[in-house]
């Protein structure tokens, strides 16, 4: 039980550090000094740098899924706009404090073979698929402007989300998240110029 | 003269390595083994890791500017669509082989003080400003659909470019660059479904 709590605390620090400074920078030695444990203490929980990185990706994805992805759950609005608003809010609250954890790390690990790269590539595809699924539902129920290409729209929406977070992190100014809301509103054929939340929070 | 050629060769390798593995990973020691020089040989050209990283950013920006940015120059189509097509072609030809060099590196260095971070943040703003300028010209000449918010449109276009390259690098499949052309075409109010180049190459 104590070992599980320790592991969870280490992983929390690993997600934070990996998000801020890049997953590739995450090593057992570097993390040990952050959590004030010995390297051998950390090795007892994660047998290698790769194992630590993989557990960090899994933990980051759990956090993202819990906060953002619209799997059927009581009290969660399954609409496209609610999904996009949860995603922007996730960035705005700096739940993972760096750039978009999965895209940045997936680019960093692209071309390297191994389970970390595989997990990151899968997370990126799962992100795009989650938006595509919500776009298709919105398209079928007539919420999108006529004649929109659903997968092109989903790709554009994913791009705006990820880039908004990149620019937010670089500028340190949340205004770009509202720019993203304007761009998303235009893409979805909503009245122009709204910088409000896409849906009321917790709707 | 020989020193300049050596410096250029080192910087070429530095841009390649920094693009593939992240600018933060770029160190004098790591680069020395790539270019098969001694660390002290490299120190003669770049006095510190920071100086090397800064020179690498400058060199990467020169390459990008030469290939993409529409400064007035004979034979270069100054239109928005030609700019976007040059940008996608720049990614497709893997001129800088990793993800979008400037955005990924700017996110990596965000929150760190120093000249490297400053140069990266400036490059990101210059990229967005180049698209905004072309969008404003297109808007004034009636090439954009009526009622589009120019800065929202510019932000969406920049997002699609950067994310297309991220997904391209992760998937290793250029199909996403055509998806980006579809999404850009929709955003600019062009007929749906075209996966062709936005303008004829070298137009």
Query: Which of B67, B88, B115 marks a domain boundary?
Result: B67
d(CA B24, CA A186): 37
pLDDT in tens, A115-164: 999 999 999 999 999 999 999 999 999 888 888 888 899 999 999 999 99
Residues in chain B: 203
CA dihedral B96, B98, B103, B108 (to 10 degrees): -130
d(CA A188, CA B65): 33
CB-based contact, B30 to chain A, within 8 Å: no
Asked if B183 lies within 8 A of A99 by C-beta distance, the reply is: no
CB contact set of B147 (below 8 Å; sequence gap of 6+): A192
Q: What average pLDDT does range A31-52 have in this prediction?
A: 91
pLDDT of residue B20: 87
Same domain as B62, residue B83: no
Strands (E), B62-175: none
Q: Which residues of B touch A159 (CB under 8 A)?
A: 156, 159-160, 162-164, 183
pLDDT of residue A1: 66
- Whether the CB-CB separation of B117 and B109 falls below 8 Å is answered with yes
Determine, yes or no, domain membership for B195.
yes
Determine, yes or no, domain membership for B147.
yes
Q: Which residues of A touch B156 (CB under 8 A)?
A: 156, 159-160, 183, 186-187
Tell me which of A87, A159, A185 to substitute to probe the interface with B (most B C-beta atoms closer than 10 Å). Answer: A159
Same domain as A202, residue A103: yes
Q: Which residues of A touch B22 (CB under 8 A)?
A: 22, 24, 108
Query: Which of A67, A96, A111 marks a domain boundary?
Result: A67
Same domain as B123, residue B28: no
Determine, yes or no, domain membership for B47.
yes
pLDDT of residue A56: 95
Determine, yes or no, domain membership for B157.
yes
pLDDT of residue B93: 95
Model pTM? 0.91
pLDDT of residue B191: 67
Same domain as B59, residue B4: yes
pLDDT in tens, B4-45: 888 999 999 999 999 988 888 888 988 999 899 999 999 899
pLDDT in tens, A64-106: 999 998 666 778 888 999 999 999 999 999 999 887 889 888 9
pLDDT of residue B181: 94
Q: How confident is the model at residue B203 (pLDDT cuts 50, 70, 90)?
A: very low
Question: What CATH number does residue A78 fall under?
Answer: 1.10.357.10
pLDDT at B118 over 70: yes
Residue recorded with tokens 């929070």: A201
Same domain as B20, residue B106: no
Query: Which of A43, A67, A91 marks a domain boundary?
Result: A67
Same domain as B84, residue B146: yes
Same domain as B155, residue B90: yes
State the smallest CA–CA distance between residue B31 and chain A in angstroms. Answer: 17
Same domain as B184, residue B140: yes
Determine, yes or no, domain membership for B73.
no
pLDDT of residue A71: 65
Q: Around Cβ B47, how many Cβ atoms within 10 Å?
A: 11
pLDDT in tens, A154-194: 999 999 999 999 999 999 999 999 999 999 998 998 865 55
Same domain as A119, residue A178: yes
Asked if B183 lies within 8 A of A148 by C-beta distance, the reply is: no
pLDDT at B177 over 90: yes
Q: What is the CA radius of gyration of chain B?
A: 18
pLDDT of residue B196: 65
Q: What average pLDDT does range B70-86 have in this prediction?
A: 84
DSSP letter (8 states) at residue B79: S
Comparing A60 with A189, which gets the higher pLDDT? A60
Angle subtended by helix axes B150-171 and A175-187, to nearest 10: 90
d(CA B141, CA B48): 49
pLDDT of residue B143: 87
pLDDT of residue B120: 95
- Total number of domains in chain B: 2
Same domain as B36, residue B84: no
pLDDT of residue A25: 82
State both tokens at B67: 């290939």
Q: Considering only A66-75, A108-117, B176-185, which range has the smallest mean pLDDT?
A: A66-75
Question: What CATH number does residue A22 fall under?
Answer: 1.10.10.60
d(CA A31, CA A198): 38
d(CA A131, CA A150): 10
Residue recorded with tokens 């239109």: B79
CB-based contact, B183 to chain A, within 8 Å: yes
Determine, yes or no, domain membership for B166.
yes
Q: Considering only A52-61, A68-77, A159-168, B192-201, which range has the smallest mean pLDDT?
A: B192-201
pLDDT of residue A72: 66
Same domain as B62, residue B4: yes
Asked if A99 lies within 8 A of B107 by C-beta distance, the reply is: yes
CB contact set of A16 (below 8 Å; sequence gap of 6+): A96, A97
Tell me which of A125, A152, A173 to substitute to probe the interface with B (most B C-beta atoms closer than 10 Å). Answer: A152
Determine, yes or no, domain membership for B151.
yes
Same domain as B42, residue B82: no
Determine, yes or no, domain membership for B72.
no
Chain B contacts in chain A segment 131-150 (CB below 8 A) = 147-149
Q: Which residues of B touch A155 (CB under 8 A)?
A: 160, 163-164, 176, 179-180, 183
pLDDT at A200 over 70: no
Q: How many contiguous H segments (helices) and E segments (strands) does chain B have?
A: 9, 0
State both tokens at B138: 């297109």
Residue A31, domain extent: 1-67
d(CA A102, CA A53): 12
CB-based contact, A195 to chain B, within 8 Å: no
Q: For residue B20, give the chain A residue with the closest CA.
A: A108
pLDDT of residue B70: 65
């Amino acid at each position: 039980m104590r070992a599980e709590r320790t592991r969870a605390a280490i992983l929390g620090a690993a997600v934070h550090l990996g998000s801020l400074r890049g997953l590739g920078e995450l090593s057992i030695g570097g993390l040990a000094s952050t959590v004030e444990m010995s390297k051998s203490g950390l090795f007892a929980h994660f047998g290698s740098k790769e194992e630590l990185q993989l557990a960090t990706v899994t933990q980051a994805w759990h956090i993202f899924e819990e906060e953002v992805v619209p799997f059927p759950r009581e009290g969660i609005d399954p609409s496209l706009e609610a999904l996009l608003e949860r995603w922007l809010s996730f960035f705005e609250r700096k739940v993972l404090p760096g750039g978009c954890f999965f895209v940045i790390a997936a680019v960093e690990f692209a071309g390297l073979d191994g389970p970390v790269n595989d997990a990151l590539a899968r997370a990126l595809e799962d992100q795009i698929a989650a938006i595509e699924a919500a776009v298709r539902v919105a398209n079928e129920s007539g919420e999108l402007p006529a004649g929109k290409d659903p997968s092109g729209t989903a790709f554009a929406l994913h791009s705006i989300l990820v880039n908004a977070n990149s620019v937010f992190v670089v500028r340190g100014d949340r205004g770009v998240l509202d720019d993203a809301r304007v761009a998303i509103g235009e893409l979805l054929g909503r009245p122009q110029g709204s910088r409000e939340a896409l849906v009321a929070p917790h709707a």
